[in-house]
Amino acid sequence: MADKSSIEWTDATWNPTTGCTKVSPGCKNCYAERLAKRLKAMGNPKYQNGFDFTVQERALELPLTWKEPRKIFVNSMSDLFHELMPGDYLEKCFDVMERANWHVYQVLTKRPGRMLEFTQKYGRVPDNVWLGTSVEMRAFVSRIDILRKVVAKTRFISFEPLIGSVGKVDLSGISWAIVGGESGPGHRPIKIEWVREIREQCKESGVAFFFKQWGGIRPKSGGRELDGKYWNQYPEDRSAWPFIERSAEPRIRVPVRANG
């Protein structure tokens, strides 16, 4: 699969733009920035500008070439609603998502204000386009209030990297919550009670809950188990409480063969 993703909650990534700028503490150890700098050093022409915001017109119609339906994370290396994103190009991105409507698009931003402004002008968001915002700690819970004003069938929140308690949150109008710890050099720790408080609020509100990772030096360093289970719900499962959950996979013990 072209542009296949290792991100647990999606199938593929599509980057019609690359590059971004930091807007809040969750951006401090941005994985996309590290990767963009590495790709630039390797001579990748798409990243000749490093992590500066760049329109990638050659990638614009890529989803149209993927004939098998998949979940697509839009702009894993950027923010579709970045302040430097040209309005006409943003419309073209949404046009592609409407035309290639056999896919589901997962659009995540730390700039829900511009998302709201754009969607009010653009009109009805197609049902196959999920719109979400990132909330890394209590100080940014207000992003959810902005997201709730966006007219879309599926709204979601990424509590990743979760670097603090979010406290009590209003999840009305929200379909899905992703939670994950930070990974990479200088990663900040995540506490189990922060994750549990989100999970319990999702349960009370009928919101699908997806626990992505504990994090660590690498994304998979800490595994994905929470209280002995993998939590892999998607929005279409949100009415199925108690959770469709899966017990942790048994660890395979490799027998040690004696010499000779």
> Mind listing the pLDDT tens digit for each residue in 168-189?
999 999 999 999 999 999 999 9
**Does the structure show a pLDDT above 90 at 149?**
yes
**Does the structure show a pLDDT above 70 at 240?**
no
pLDDT at position 2 = 56
Average pLDDT over residues 225-237: 94
3-class DSSP state of 73: strand
pTM of the entire structure?
0.91
CATH number at residue 47: 3.20.20
Q: How confident is the model at residue 237 (pLDDT cuts 50, 70, 90)?
A: confident
Residue 149 lies in a domain: yes
pLDDT at position 236 = 86
Residue 259 lies in a domain: no
Helical pair 87-99 and 112-122, crossing angle rounded to 10 deg: 70
The percentage of residues in the chain with a pLDDT greater than 70, rounded to a whole number, is 90
In the chain, the number of structural domains is 1
pLDDT at position 160 = 98
pLDDT at position 241 = 52
Residue 73 lies in a domain: yes
| Residue-averaged pLDDT of the chain | 92
User: Phi-psi category of 67—alpha, beta or left, where left has phi over 0 and alpha has psi -120 to 50?
Assistant: alpha
Q: Residue 160: which domain range? A: 12-247
Residue 194 lies in a domain: yes
Residue 16 lies in a domain: yes
**Does the structure show a pLDDT above 60 at 9?**
yes
Residue 28 lies in a domain: yes
pLDDT at position 3 = 79
User: Phi-psi category of 167—alpha, beta or left, where left has phi over 0 and alpha has psi -120 to 50?
Assistant: left
Backbone phi, psi, residue 111, to 5°: -125, 60
Residue 260 lies in a domain: no
- Whether 214 and 155 have beta carbons less than 8 Å apart is answered as no
Residue 182 lies in a domain: yes
- Whether 224 and 247 have beta carbons less than 8 Å apart is answered as no
Q: In b/e form, how buried is each residue of 177-201, taking b as 16+ CB within 10 angstroms?
A: bbbbbbbbeebbebeeebbebbbeb
